[in-house]
Amino acid sequence: GAVVSQHPSWVICKSGTSVKIECRSLDFQATTMFWYRQFPKQSLMLMATSNEGSKATYEQGVEKDKFLINHASLTLSTLTVTSAHPEDSSFYICSASLGQGPYSNQPQHFGDGTRLSIL
């Protein structure tokens, strides 16, 4: 149980295009979903926390107009990287939790990530 599916797994696109990444909880309803970014050989960096039906809470330094997050249902959250540039190339990972907020004792279940390469 507790499977999180992330799609696509790999994206290569030209600079200036927008890319949408989907995160779905397949067998449970996720109260909260999280989006992370990970650079090679570095740990995950939380970008934003989203609760279904409300606006996402972005971490300091993360541009909310650049990284649009929509959490329309308890099983789906999307991250759209708008007008992507080479510096946006990274590994983006989502996670979903039954708990409220990142401090919850409920474990976070991670997707397998999306490798984004901007040419």
Partner 1 sequence: KNQVEQSPQSLIILEGKNCTLQCNYTVSPFSNLRWYKQDTGRGPVSLTIMTFSENTKSNGRYTATLDADTKQSSLHITASQLSDSASYICVVSDDYKLSFGAGTTVTVRA
Q: Which residue has the tokens 């040419």?
A: 119
**CB 2 to partner 1: min, Å:** 9
Annotate 57-83 with DSSP letters as a single string.
EEPTT--TTTEEEEEEETTEEEEEETT
Stretch that binds partner 1, among 14-22, 64-72, 76-84, 105-113 (CB under 8 A): 105-113
Interface segment toward partner 1; rule CB under 8 A; list 14-22, 38-46, 62-70, 76-84: 38-46
CB 42 → partner 1: shortest distance, Å?
6
Q: Which residues of 24-48 are buried (b: 16+ CB within 10 A; e: fewer)?
A: bbeebebbbbbbbbeeeeeeeeebb
What minimum distance in Å lies between the beta carbon of 25 and partner 1?
13
90 near partner 1 (CB under 8 A): no
Residues of this chain that bind partner 1 (CB under 8 A): 4, 6, 41-46, 91, 93, 95, 101-103, 105, 107-113, 115
